[in-house]
Amino acid sequence: MKKTLSSDKLRGGYYTPPVIARFLSRWAIRSGSDTVLEPSCGDGRLLFAAADRLSELGVRRDSLCDRLFGVELLADEASKAARSGATIETGDFFTVFRDRIEKPGRTFSCAIGNPPFIRYQNFDPASRDIAFALLRPRGFNPNKLTNAWIPFLVLSASALAPDGRLAMVIPAELLQVDYAGETRRFLASFFQRTTIVLFRSIVFDGIQQEVVLLLCEKTAPAGGIRTVEVADADELDAFHPRLASSETQPYLPDGHKWTRFLLSAEENDLLDRLAENQSVASANDLFEVNVGLVSGENDFFVLTRETVDIWGLRNVVRPIVSRAEQVRGLVFGDADFKAMSEAGKRVHLFDPGDSSAEGFSPPVRDSSAGPRIVCAFLNSYTFALSETLGRSYGGGVMTFEPGEVRKMRIPMIGADHLDLHRLDALVRAGKIDVVLDEVDHCLLGKGLGLSQGEIRALRGIWEKLRNRRFDRRQRQAILPSKGKRQSHFQISTLEPQSPDYPNSSPEQLLLAMEAKTSYDKRGKSKKRKAK
Ligand SMILES: C[S@@+](CC[C@H](N)C(=O)[O-])C[C@H]1O[C@@H](n2cnc3c(N)ncnc32)[C@H](O)[C@@H]1O
């Protein structure tokens, strides 16, 4: 466990803003006879909001203890929550669920909450063992990626009565990470309708994690899933009319990411049709995708020119791209490398061993195809699809796991006609729209025979998802200049090795490191653990 993690972070102690607490209670609680479970109630702010809602529905304050049931790990917080009039159990929710809810068969009309987001390694092992044991019979195979919010969500859902409702604050990664695939499948089979409320700006101060509101109904007039986007929490008060007019789409088959629900049914149809199109190559057929290098200690291994010179390390370093921002165009050549080196960037990998013996194989399957693949990648279909495959963070950064890159699709018919150096110059000049116009015309129009309308729709999908990702940058974040750049894909080809660096080989420029980097709230780069 890292010493730097605050105790609030370890227990997932970020509380819900009042406007959201009010919204969740008002949506979930429909009648004065409803009963409410809050599995991780903190200081009880959701329970206070639920108490207000029940009072509005005519419930007397002195009978709230029969209607509201909260659980909280910390005694101090639990005693604050008890002032709401709810019955509070102090302790671990999973133990309480097993012994006091599941065993006696207790159910609730509503579950409201904002479960803690605690990673496996910080999740108390005793509590985690109980949580995982309760998940398994529900079709889950929990593992080291399973965050605490998953069992809180799933078990609270399991405690609902047949027409129950669940309203929770959940990390937006529910929509997009592979490890939440089982949870998406569970929700799709357990709830007739799921509504996801997304925020254009991040609503919780103090956390970088993007959140959504998950509103689930066991019985609903129309089945499926719908998404509604609001500017910020304050807009929730005027939210109900918009909900009624939003389109419900059928749940997606297993494993699909729910980012797709940010698109309209027609947009999804278009992506589905292209997924069936055999003329589009899959990335996996074109190149190998591997994690290139994880040093474990970049400060030590990835050096600036100054450090290399001070310590006389010229013969034991090789060039490396350590951040995607170092790749400005489609071609990364000697001049780019020198410019980065002279600008004091960390582009020298300390590598005193004989690593040529490790046999690094070129990633492109047909060695002459590299430049064509790089050019062909820059089309609206591949861009749009990429936005649905990767995962985005509050800072606007998008990252891909190797398995996600393998699923990308690249139209290659006509790629011979694309001019790498011309496109390179356009990308460097920030003219990504011109690049897309040219490549779309050549590959999507002429190569695949798509209509102008279809090409425009694909561009629209990319822009919609890209803009959404950018809009959600934290208000106070000071992002590095890369945030303003137009080109978001660091797919490049490499020029021959630099004579200055005898150990260098182009294949050893490892782009994968950027995929392991995200931004903290001040916009500073920080390492993420490889999953
Ligand atoms: C994200 S906070 C939310 C608190 C409150 N629900 C709200 O919406 O403001 C999560 C709470 O879960 C509590 N917690 C963490 N692990 C728990 C566990 N195993 N059982 C019960 N509560 C837990 C934390 O102490 C913290 O108060």
Among 217-226, 238-247, 404-413, which is the least confidently predicted range? 238-247
Helix (H, G, I), strand (E, B) or coil at 413: coil
Determine the residue of 40, 88, 95, 128 to mutate for testing ligand 1's pocket, defined as the one with the most ligand atoms within 8 A of the Cβ atom.
40
Mean pLDDT value across the chain = 84
Distance 158 CA to ligand 1 centre (A): 18
CB 493 within 8 A of CB 374: yes
- Cα dihedral sign for 503, 507, 510, 511? positive
Sign of the Cα torsion 128, 129, 130, 134 reads: positive
Residue 276 burial by CB count (10 A; 0-12/13-18/19+): exposed, middle or buried?
exposed
User: How far is ligand 1, taken at its centre, from the CA of residue 52, in Å?
Assistant: 21
The rounded distance, in Å, linking the Cα atoms of 34 and 36 is 7
Superfamily of chain region 7-262: Vaccinia Virus protein VP39 (3.40.50.150)
pLDDT digits (tens, 9 = 90+) for 216-236: 999 998 889 999 888 777 778
CB neighbours (10 Å) of residue 530? Answer: 12
Residue whose CB lies within 8 A of the most ligand 1 atoms, among 8, 36, 71, 72, for a mutation test: 72
Mean pLDDT of 10-27: 86
Smallest Cα–Cα separation from 146: which of 118, 125, 112?
A: 118
For ligand 1, atom 15, name the residue with the nearest CA.
11
Per-residue pLDDT at 493 exceeds 50: no
At 288, give phi and psi (nearest 5°): -85, 145
Residue closest via CA to ligand 1's atom 10 equals 116
CB-defined site of ligand 1, < 6 Å: 11-16, 40-42, 45-46, 71-74, 77, 92-93, 113-114, 116, 127
Which residues contact residue 204 at a Cβ distance below 8 angstroms, ignoring those fewer than 6 apart?
A: 14, 17, 211
Which atom of ligand 1 lies nearest, measured to the CA of 46? 8
Ligand 1 centre to CA of 107 (Å) is 20
Could you tell me the residue ranges of all domains in the chain?
7-262, 282-531
Region 498-520 average pLDDT = 32
Are 53 and 34 in contact, with CB atoms under 8 Å apart? no
The one-letter code for the residue type at 425 is A
287 CA distance to ligand 1 centroid (A)?
45
Of ligand 1's listed atoms, the one at least distance from the Cα of 127 is: 19
Distance 339 CA to ligand 1 centre (A): 50
Report which ligand 1 atom has the smallest distance to the Cα of 44: 5
* Gap between the Cα atoms of 49 and 201, Å rounded: 23
Residue 42 CA: which ligand 1 atom is closest?
27
- The residue among 205, 199, 195 whose CA lies nearest residue 231 is 199
DSSP 260: G
Whole-number Cα distances in Å, 374 to 286, 403, 411, 490, 514: 11, 19, 11, 9, 18
pLDDT band at 6 (very low <50, low <70, confident <90, very high): low
User: Exposed, middle or buried: residue 102 (CB in 10 Å: 0-12, 13-18, 19+)?
Assistant: middle
Q: In 3-state terms, what secondary structure has residue 45?
A: helix
What are residue 287's phi and psi, to 5 degrees?
Answer: -150, 160
Which atom of ligand 1 is nearest to 21's Cα? 8
Taking only the tens place, the pLDDT of each residue in 172-217 is 889 988 889 999 999 999 999 999 998 877 667 666 678 899 999 9
Six token digits for residue 148: 């605490």
398: tokens are 């998008």
Compute the distance between CA of residue 379 and CA of residue 462 in angstroms, rounded to an integer: 10
Query: 3-class SS at 375?
Result: helix
User: Per residue in 252-297, pLDDT tens?
Assistant: 877 678 988 989 889 999 999 999 999 999 999 998 888 777 778 8
Mapped onto helix, strand or coil, the DSSP state of residue 16 is coil
- The first and second tokens of residue 494, run together, are 């490499």
Cα–chain-centroid distance for residue 425?
32
319 Rama class: left (phi>0) / alpha (psi -120 to 50) / beta: beta
Distance from C-alpha of 295 to C-alpha of 510, rounded to nearest angstrom: 11
Q: How far is the CA of 396 from the centre of ligand 1 (A)?
A: 27
Q: Whose CA is nearest to atom 13 of ligand 1?
A: 40
Q: Mean pLDDT: which of 113-127, 489-503, 512-526 is highest? A: 113-127
Write b or e for each residue in 333-352: b if 16 or more Cβ atoms lie within 10 A of its Cβ, otherwise e: bbebbeebbeeebbbbbbbe
Tell how far the Cα of 76 is from the centroid of ligand 1, in angstroms.
12
Please state the φ and ψ torsions of residue 107, each to the nearest 5 degrees. -130, 165
Tell me the pTM. 0.78
pLDDT tier, 116 (very low <50, low <70, confident <90, very high otherwise): very high
> Is the distance from CB of 174 to CB of 117 less than 8 angstroms?
no
Q: Which residue reads 């980012």 in tokens? A: 259
| Ligand 1 centroid from CA 377, angstroms | 44
pLDDT value for 529: 36
Question: Going by CA atoms, what residue is nearest to atom 19 of ligand 1?
Answer: 92
Dihedral angle sign, alpha carbons of residues 274, 280, 282, 287? negative
3-state SS record for 287-316 = ECCCCCCCCCCHHHHEECHHHHHHCCCHHH
pLDDT > 70 in the chain, percent = 80
**pLDDT band with cut points at 50, 70 and 90 for residue 354:** low
167, 213 Cβ separation under 8 angstroms: yes
Angle between helix 265-276 and 380-389 (nearest 10): 110
Residue type present at position 109: S
Contact status, residue 395 vs residue 474, Cβ threshold 8 Å? yes
Ligand 1 atom index nearest CA of 16: 9
